[in-house]
A and B are shown apart, each in its own frame.
Chain A
């Protein structure tokens, strides 16, 4: 045992650094937040109140509204974005190597920009006057200017639109890598059997890309459930709670109302939802692929 430890001492030493960072900056805050969710947080005299924060949360209509908005946002963005990402990757894959590299770089560029910067650009595009970029475009077709971010009917859709027209870079790179890993022999065999293009796609390409799709689905749902920056920058949860998501509600509860206990309870409910949804996704889509 001692000999084994001595043999691997260097490995343990190097691992120690990230483990310590994980304990201090991840595990400790999670445990603290969990305890806080049962307290009326006060910087000097926190008070244990049992499940009161959870009761308050489940009695709040804004919480349910935020839950619904988050669910709607996830359902309407994740599958659509995966489809868009897949299509873009599929088209890029048909190109010659140097063009593939060019498009990979172009598509990945927005990922380098911060969410705040992207939000500001979109903010200008959603300008409510007829001079706004999107409204000017609609004006060509004789349409009236739309108050994109200020009407309950369009505000959440506007935030969804931001994801449809961006943030596909990382997914495209993953898909392209996965497509490149599919053995050519499978397609050659299919050609010998006179398989149609659709048959090759549905029987070879798509099944073999399932692990990548599952990864994008799980991470997409997790990120989508935590959508915050665009809400914070563009709408502040309004109008009339039309864009209040759980992550924004947590922020509001903690940093506007100073109710850190309640915010912690909301965070743990969000965590529970994400864990359950992720498990379901793995159960439904996970398959062992060997080729």
Chain B
């Protein structure tokens, strides 16, 4: 009797497991006429969770035969989850990201060209669609035009007598920047120091943006030729090192991570934080409310969006791009109609109010005319002077070479960043290697990877 009971429990447990496994492989009990499109996205802006829920509900009302199953990933773990899924051959149909040569190389990125109607092409503002192409083929639909530059504390700039409005309009050179940054360096009453600029040693954009401002648009040029072996790279490295040596940046920069960098900025211990984006207007506004409510202690900071200084004698070159949704097929291809439906979802999530809410919230330029129309006459977030600064900065934008080079070069570039740039930038900040040694290392690694 005892054994029979045990046997029954064991069989029941096995049945439960088997039924769970088999149901996950079915079409979720949905009718055969309903095509399920999987979307993996992120909390793109503060209210995106609510915004996408609304967009999806409206889509379902209009397209009863297509069901969007969406998941909000975390910024920390989402990219890894996606990478594993992609390399296992089962990516979601739609993923929030910029286009990437590595995605295309898997053979699973969906070429959108067959589905691009003149209506959609014309809805995009000039030059925006190009930011989601790889070697001329459309793989993504941008939702907004992103840009990175620096963010500054208005009080500290003004106390140092810096004409930030002029800088926003006309830009500044490396030597002008240094002159101004030195004015912000001082000892604070609590014994700590106020710096001109603080960056972190983890993210790679600081060197990339300054190299771009020296005239080196990327690690490689549009033809895939390695260009960080140019003397201007050495000058960039020397310029960065001099900021530490001259006390404009903290000497512990090598040990600062992104969270610490923000801490310096929020605590008023730096005039400028790298990196910054127009969205800081919204973030600092929220923080100010939290300070008023007693949830957060600290100084309310008025945000000033500043361009990256460019090498003397050079020209202003800003870091810009397009972010939105990229389409994918799976290893077990679900057919042409499914691909069409995938594109339909991508178009829906990027057009009009559905896509425009991100540009509006992030205080960055819209990507599509339908977004502009949807937000006409509505109050938008962000400070007017920073919005103008972002527009000026956008006009100086130079897109990444990733959009033009083949997947092999794109993969080599990624390897260069991980195996040369990242390790060397910490060495540069800590002073364990000289700019000349790092430049040599770049040249050697570049020769090895891009020959």
Contact yes or no, B418 A149, CB < 8 A: no
Select A258's contact among B83, B89, B254, B419, beta carbons within 8 Å: B83
Q: Is the interface of B mostly helix, strand, loop or mixed?
A: helix
**A153 (CB) vs chain B CBs: closest residue:** B432
Contact yes or no, A151 B430, CB < 8 A: yes
A10-B3, A127-B260, A150-B255 are known; give 6 further A-B pairs, CB within 8 A: A62-B419, A152-B430, A236-B422, A239-B201, A240-B423, A252-B418
Taken residue by residue from 25 to 43, chain A's Cβ proximity to chain B (1 for < 8 Å, 0 otherwise) reads as: 0000000000000000111
- Which residues, 395 to 416 on B, are CB-close (under 8 Å) to A? 411, 414-415
Complex: how many Å from CA A128 to CA B422? Answer: 19
Taken residue by residue from 73 to 91, chain B's Cβ proximity to chain A (1 for < 8 Å, 0 otherwise) reads as: 0000000100110111100
Q: Taking the complex as formed, is A148 at the interface, i.e. its CB lies under 8 A from any CB of chain B?
A: yes
**A14 (CB) vs chain B CBs: closest residue:** B10
Q: Taking the complex as formed, is B60 at the interface, i.e. its CB lies under 8 A from any CB of chain A?
A: no
Contact yes or no, A150 B201, CB < 8 A: yes
Taken residue by residue from 145 to 158, chain A's Cβ proximity to chain B (1 for < 8 Å, 0 otherwise) reads as: 10111111100000
Q: Taking the complex as formed, is A241 at the interface, i.e. its CB lies under 8 A from any CB of chain B?
A: yes
Q: Taking the complex as formed, is B202 at the interface, i.e. its CB lies under 8 A from any CB of chain A?
A: yes
**A147 (CB) vs chain B CBs: closest residue:** B255
Residue among A62, A152, A153 facing the most chain B CB atoms (10 A cut-off): A152
Complex: how many Å from CA A240 to CA B422? Answer: 8
- Which residues, 239 to 290 on B, are CB-close (under 8 Å) to A? 252, 254-256, 260
Q: How many residues of B contact A (CB 8 A)?
A: 37
A-B contacts, CB under 8 A, total: 86
Complex: how many Å from CA A241 to CA B418? Answer: 10
Taking beta carbons and an 8 Å cutoff, which residues of A are in contact with B? 10, 13-14, 41-45, 62, 127-129, 145, 147-153, 236-241, 252, 255-258, 260
| Distance (whole angstroms) from the CB of A39 to the closest CB of chain B | 13
Contact yes or no, A255 B83, CB < 8 A: yes
**B88 CB contacts on chain A under 8 angstroms:** 43
Q: Taking the complex as formed, is B427 at the interface, i.e. its CB lies under 8 A from any CB of chain A?
A: yes
**B107 CB contacts on chain A under 8 angstroms:** 42-45
Q: What would 16 A/B residue contacts be, using CB atoms closer than 8 Å?
A: A14-B10, A43-B87, A43-B108, A44-B89, A44-B107, A128-B252, A128-B255, A129-B252, A149-B255, A150-B254, A151-B254, A151-B430, A257-B415, A257-B418, A258-B411, A260-B87
Contact yes or no, A147 B430, CB < 8 A: yes
| Distance (whole angstroms) from the CB of A101 to the closest CB of chain B | 36
| Distance (whole angstroms) from the CB of A253 to the closest CB of chain B | 9
**B415 CB contacts on chain A under 8 angstroms:** 257
Q: Taking the complex as formed, is B135 at the interface, i.e. its CB lies under 8 A from any CB of chain A?
A: no
Taken residue by residue from 9 to 20, chain B's Cβ proximity to chain A (1 for < 8 Å, 0 otherwise) reads as: 010000000000
- Which residues, 1 to 55 on B, are CB-close (under 8 Å) to A? 3, 6, 10
